[in-house]
Amino acid sequence: MEEKHIYIPNISCGHCISTIKRELSEIEGVRAVDGDPAAKIVTIQWNAPANWESILKTLDEIGYSPEEK
Ligand SMILES: [Cu+2]
């Protein structure tokens, strides 16, 4: 299991977290997505076949790019 905590500046409320959860959960292998709207931090856990590149691509597509890549 891989895990990352990422800072996403575009997060402004719980709906943003819900959108990120919904979109990332569609990637096969993503196990858990959790976020804190106040801190703008999202925690993602995944196994293969998901990988960081596919997660990052989805985040970029939906407008929630992490600050550091
Ligand atoms: Cu929001």
Q: Is 2-61 a CATH 3.30.70.100 domain?
A: yes
- What is the CB neighbour count within 10 angstroms for residue 41? 15
Alpha-carbon gap, residue 51 to 12, rounded angstroms: 26
Ligand 1 centroid to 51 CA: how many Å? Answer: 25
pLDDT at 69: 53
What is the mean pLDDT for each group of 10 consecutive residues in the chain (69 residues)?
Answer: 97 98 98 98 98 98 90
User: Over 3-61, what HEC string results?
Assistant: EEEEECCCCCCHHHHHHHHHHHHCCCCEEEEEEECCCCEEEEEECCCCCHHHHHHHHHH
Ligand 1 centroid to 21 CA: how many Å? Answer: 12
Q: Where are the domains of the chain?
A: 2-61
pLDDT at 68: 72
pLDDT at 23: 98
